[in-house]
A and B are shown apart, each in its own frame.
Chain A
Amino acid sequence: SQTIHQWPATLVQPVGSPLSLECTVEGTSNPNLYWYRQAAGRGLQLLFYSVGIGQISSEVPQNLSASRPQDRQFILSSKKLLLSDSGFYLCAWSVGIDSKEQFFGPGTRLTVL
């Protein structure tokens, strides 16, 4: 069966510090991978998605970036965090060209102080 892991579960970082969040998927090959941010009152905002190794599409311009160094690994990064980067970050995967059914990881709660 497929599983998706995210770490860390929680993170408190000062403004201006770097960020690296990791997501890995097990039990499937060539998944589509997604990074979302969920902030109170704003719903789920799609940040990045990837259909393959090294292929990243950005949905929203911001100081975050994403990379996919391996088939089942997706990384969200920032060089300098802003207060507005605080939120609940969710990684998700789906399979197939047409299916958009999302299977989410447990999330990372990021607080920028």
Chain B
Amino acid sequence: TQLLEQSPQFLSIQEGENLTVYCNSSSVFSSLQWYRQEPGEGPVLLVTVVTGGEVKKLKRLTFQFGDARKDSSLHITAAQPGDTGLYLCAGVWGDKIIFGKGTRLHILP
């Protein structure tokens, strides 16, 4: 069974601080996606990373795929209250997509 472990489960920080959340697995994925979900809504796709070592930037968010394609990180610079939400990673393995349980991020104003 392929599992994606996300850490930390919860993170509460002050506006303006930097943070990194992680998505780890013992399995190799063909690609990995990051989503953000706000309460009562469906997740929204932020980015897909495909190549080992790939780095993608989305404004203040930086996503990195591990060299071995088993893990990924999301770094947020100068966090804003609008970054608050549940961040989910999802790994594609063959025909399957597997979601982690998410990191719940709360940015305090």
Contacts and interface: CB of A to CB of B under 8 A. Distances in A.
B101 to A, nearest CB: 4
Contacts of A106: 41-42
Contacts of B45: 101-103
A107 B43 CA distance: 10
Contacts of A92: 42
B31 interface: yes
A interface bracket (residues with beta carbon within 8 Å of B): 10 to 19
Interface stretch (B13-21, B54-62, B70-78, B92-100): B92-100
Interface of B is mostly: strand
Interface in A34-78: 41-44, 46
A100 B99 contact: no
A71 to B, nearest CB: 21
A34 to B, nearest CB: 9
B interface bracket (residues with beta carbon within 8 Å of A): 10 to 19
Contacts of B42: 90, 92, 104-107
Nearest to B92: A100
A107 B41 contact: yes
A86 to B, nearest CB: 15
B48 A102 contact: no
A67 B90 CA distance: 25
A44 B88 contact: yes
A43 B92 contact: no
Contacts of A90: 42-43
B85 to A, nearest CB: 13
Interface in B79-109: 88, 90, 92, 97, 99-102
Q: Give 5 closest A-B pairs by Cβ, nearest first.
A: A104-B42, A43-B101, A44-B99, A100-B97, A100-B92
29 contacts: A42-B101, A43-B88, A43-B99, A43-B100, A43-B101, A43-B102, A44-B90, A44-B99, A46-B97, A90-B42, A90-B43, A92-B42, A100-B33, A100-B92, A100-B97, A101-B33, A101-B45, A101-B48, A102-B35, A102-B43, A103-B45, A104-B42, A104-B43, A104-B44, A105-B42, A106-B41, A106-B42, A107-B40, A107-B41
